[in-house]
Structure 1
């Protein structure tokens, strides 16, 4: 479909004259995106999200579902950008256990901080709304003390960036010149807050993500911020009761197609193909999250039953077990502090779970031991 997507402007950066792309404001026009092009996919995605919202009731606490889902999304969105951290690494780090790739883990941890900041603001009566200011403050947390920390964390870029290629002249894509970024983000902010009765919320999320990636307002961290916006908007627009969706898993598995279709919105104005891909990603990710919740609920129910049937397990062992979904890697000292008990009592509780095969010792050492609810971590990592 042929439509005007934006304008090409000539700018100079690093001594080279390059053609930068300035997108038109949303929504796409001339012609607009036809509802029949996304209606069926949108219904399927909304149904998948409704099923995911419903299945969360299978577990006694949504908190541990949220703990796991947000960390998985943080990990996967960071892996798209090249980090090598795993869920085991992240859980070990949270347990105070030293990990080899500490820098990668810190990037994932920063994403968690940035996402928590955005979520708390959107939930608070006096918090910041979806806005350039909120995005900049979250970006500051995202790049704090990690790779990219020297690239103006929390500040809109003041120089030209580019995507792909070794220099601006052979780049795959050159985003808008820096002086155009504030007005483009203001346009995007107005689109987010404008009523669009004819556009379903999921379609709006797809448009917002693509437009943010095209504007590329920061020198680093744009992809993670753009995907953070997806999670924030899904909950903010009541598509999710809580951020239980880790869409970055699907985007990572189809990374080449993800980037190609984002590009096609600029080069060909093919918003329909991008929206279809995004809606399919939501439906697939929701179905995957639903299966994972069912599997986790089954695992925990079966392990709880084994624990309750054990004559050797006492009250502290039960309390430890109920803490495992939000403490899947731990030391005895950590159990002592979490359960406010003595070291011998904590050690006995850990031993009771280890004897049943629910947790296992991970180091093979007699000192500085750590333990893991590994079957739980393995299900999450699948």
Structure 2
């Protein structure tokens, strides 16, 4: 039996009648979600997350793992929406360098700010829980000063939106009417915070993501907010202690399949197909993140050994090296400030790392030189 996951309501928008889809509340019913859709896959995904957490615990500093993982997630989720920024662009912008595609980089950095806001609230006993209010606050940061800044940042939409096509009448998908958005999000909030564990937490994350995208509560930024919600729920339900996994990389790699599964839930009632795809994505993304951590840790450890054996190595060069994983591109002025030292000391520290081939100077200039921990950036950019 084909499951029905919502109903259509006809209303007039932009002068023409439009059939908008209104999803039923979660969890799926008539029939209920089949356990065969998630049993083995859920166990495999949870094991992959557990291995990722364990490997991360073996690294001297989790801070530099988080630095890279969060930026990869921010970059990939933005690329799904069409931005062209690269990791190097992001590192250059953070180093205070001029980047050509400033607008795209700003969209990625806005995502980072929105992500931090949500994470800070979840970790603060006095902070907001996962809620419409918290998501609106994050959305305000996401659209601040970039594409979509004129589309009610931080506010639920007050007009009809649509996906695909030039108007609601020829759209691929028309989300619920604006006046139904608050009650639909209230239902979603209740599902997130409801007691009971009839469904595994990862399965619930998968369900929430589709429901959020189906409601499409904002005029812009719904895809990025929906994927940010995935990361928030992984922490909320204790599935990953730190945001070490960049699931958007998997979703970008399989973007067509990702969108087809979202659509099939609405048109065919195929929650099982989506849940299976999502769980496989978590397993693959967690395994990929684990491999990246091992590769990065191996590179850093090998470079650290070489530095320790260098006859001109100094305390400043050691301190600079330890900053590299969270500052892979830097100016001498930036490291002078970071190390709290003089310009000659900062310059001498960079020279030691340059002689070892750990960092390279990328401008070819005598003044305002910029250095890059290129092997590290190349690993991250794979």
Aligning the two structures, in what range does the TM-score lie when normalised by the shorter sequence?
A: over 0.9
Residues 195-344 of structure 1: pairs in structure 2 closer than 5 A: 195-344=195-344
Question: TM-score, with normalisation over the residues of structure 2?
Answer: 0.99
- Measured in 2, the distance between the counterparts of 1:57 and 1:199 equals 28
Structure 1 equivalent of residue 24 of structure 2: 24
**Any conservation in 2 of the 1:203–1:275 contact (CA below 8 Å)?**
yes
Q: 2:75–2:87: 8 Å Cα contact kept in structure 1?
A: yes
- Tell me, in whole angstroms, the C-alpha distance in 2 between the residues paired with 1:37 and 1:143: 36
Is the contact between residue 137 and residue 154 of structure 2 (CA under 8 Å) also seen in structure 1?
A: yes
- String of CA shifts for 1:74-101, please: whole Å, max 9, x gaps: 0100000000000100011011111001
Where does residue 67 of structure 1 map in the other structure?
A: 67
Per-residue deviation, 1:195: 2.0
Contact kept, 8 Å, 1:93 with 1:99, in 2: the verdict is: yes
Q: Deviations over 1:204-242 (max 9, x none)?
A: 000000000000000000000000000011011110010
Deviations 1:277-298 (A, max 9, x none): 0000000000000000000000
The equivalent of 1:175 in structure 2 is: 175
1:133 aligns with 2:138: no
SS across alignment from 1:183: helix
Q: Distance in 2 between matches of 1:364 and 1:282?
A: 43
Which residues of structure 1 form unaligned runs of 5+? none
Q: Does residue 375 of the first structure (1) align with residue 382 of the second (2)?
A: no
More deviation, 364-373/68-77:
364-373
**Aligned position for 1:121:** 121
Shift of 1:14: 1.3
Match of 2:41 in 1: 41
Q: Structure 1 CA distance, aligned partners of 2:83 and 2:260?
A: 21
Does residue 92 of structure 2 align to residue 99 of structure 1?
Answer: no
* 3-state SS of 1:12 partner: strand
1:360-371 paired onto structure 2 within 5 Å = 360-371=360-371
CA root-mean-square deviation: 0.7
Q: Deviations over 1:266-325 (max 9, x none)?
A: 001000000000000000000000000000000000000000011011110000000000
Secondary structure, counterpart of 1:257 in structure 2: helix
Structure 2: distance between partners of 1:233 and 1:245: 13
Deviation for aligned residue 1:364: 2.0
The alignment covers a number of residue pairs equal to: 382
CA shift at 1:37, angstroms?
Answer: 1.9
Deviates more, 1:213-222 or 1:310-319: 310-319
CA distance in 2, matches of 1:363, 1:288: 33
Task: Please state how far the C-alpha of 1:196 moved relative to its aligned partner.
Answer: 3.4
